[in-house]
Amino acid sequence: MNPLSSAPATVLTSPPPAVDDRFAFATTLIQSNPWPIARHVAVIAEIGINHNGDVSIAKQLIRMAKDAGCDAVKFQKRTVSIVYTKEFLDSPRASPWGTTQRAQKEALEFGRAQYDQIDAYCRSIGIAWFASAWDVPSQEFLRSYDLAYNKIASPLLTHRELVEYVAQERKPTFISTGMSGYDQIDAAVEVFRRHDCPFVLMHCLSEYPAQEQALNLRCLVELRRRYGCPVGYSGHEVTMVPGVLAAMMGAVAVERHITLDRAMYGSDQAASLEKRGLEMLTSYVRTIPLVMGDGVKRVTPAEAANAKKLRYWGPGDRLGQVADHAVD
């Protein structure tokens, strides 16, 4: 049984909701055929819990994302006692903060004081921030910051109450689709469309780190065809190359975990980009509109000058119209 809906899996052809201004990047294209390419791909730096419970590390990561040209940073918010059972929290786990799962999980969660600092810092340097809530009280908490976006993380896509709660806000939402099949994605999309909430579906492989041969980027094409909505890519691989390829294949948003050092403590560090990798990702993604052009074949002035130098044969031996001059 589908955890969100019993409706059969079908191609959803109903029109998407009107695009919110905050999602303008999703419909401002340099081309629509043979596939859409966004003029400005939103690059989201997922900090998640890679801050290790330290606001100073979080600020360093925010600054790194800003300097690399990212559009936003993203965190994760959980109510530990809701997301995990008491038995799990009391079970043993060695960490820098203690010997139980509870000690580790609680240490990685930011509260009001920390998020107030994050909010103020992001505003001061001019970068958006948002977070994926893992439970309804966490989403209520995030509402108080009037953030530009919401996020449904892959594990939460089948959480009926949370998906309904987020969609009711009608705030632009990134929906990750890892660890879910089409019947589950169908149901989540139905919820967002019923509430007229704008969304971008993010193709995702929920493995940490993900192997590149398993990424299946062609799913970007199928998600766009099936749901008639903007699509994006949330990656967990080691390199930045798939994110660039995803942008070329029509992803309007690319999200990657980031870290100061992959050797740091934490389960997400190994699947994250360090400073240089993040810089390369944003640089290459921003190059796409420059190199794509308009598809009109023309002879540039520099080409015309080179033709005069390199085509030594006379006019009578030339094929086609003379093209030794620039063509507008």
pLDDT for position 323: 57
Residue 316 pLDDT grade (very low, low, confident, very high; cuts 50, 70, 90):
confident
pLDDT at 14 over 80: no
pLDDT for position 7: 32
User: Which pTM was predicted?
Assistant: 0.89
Q: Domain 21-292, what fold?
A: TIM Barrel (3.20.20)
Taking the C-alpha atoms of residue 94 and residue 116, their distance in angstroms, rounded to an integer, is: 30
pLDDT tens digits along 66-98: 999 999 999 999 999 999 999 999 999 999 999
pLDDT for position 325: 56
In terms of Cβ atoms closer than 10 Å to its own Cβ (0-12, 13-18, 19+), residue 23 is buried
Residue 2 pLDDT grade (very low, low, confident, very high; cuts 50, 70, 90):
very low
Tokens 């400005």, residue located: 40
One-letter identity of residue 85: T
| Closest by Cα among 183, 135, 173, 148 to 3 | 183
Lowest mean pLDDT among 26-35, 106-115, 161-170, 181-190: 26-35
Residue 21 pLDDT grade (very low, low, confident, very high; cuts 50, 70, 90):
confident
Tokens 């990702």, residue located: 281
Per-state percent for the chain, helix, strand, coil, to nearest 5 = 40, 15, 40
pLDDT at 328 over 80: no
Please give the structure tokens belonging to residue 254.
Answer: 């690319």
**CA angle centred on 175, ends 137 and 234, rounded to 5°:** 115
Question: 273 pairs with which residues across the strands?
Answer: 258
Tokens 């806000």, residue located: 169
pLDDT at 17 over 70: no
pLDDT tens digits along 211-231: 999 999 999 999 999 999 999
CB 82 within 8 A of CB 135: yes
What residues does each domain of the chain span? 21-292, 296-328
Task: Find all residues with CB under 8 Å of 282, minimum gap 6, and list them.
Answer: 43, 68, 69, 70
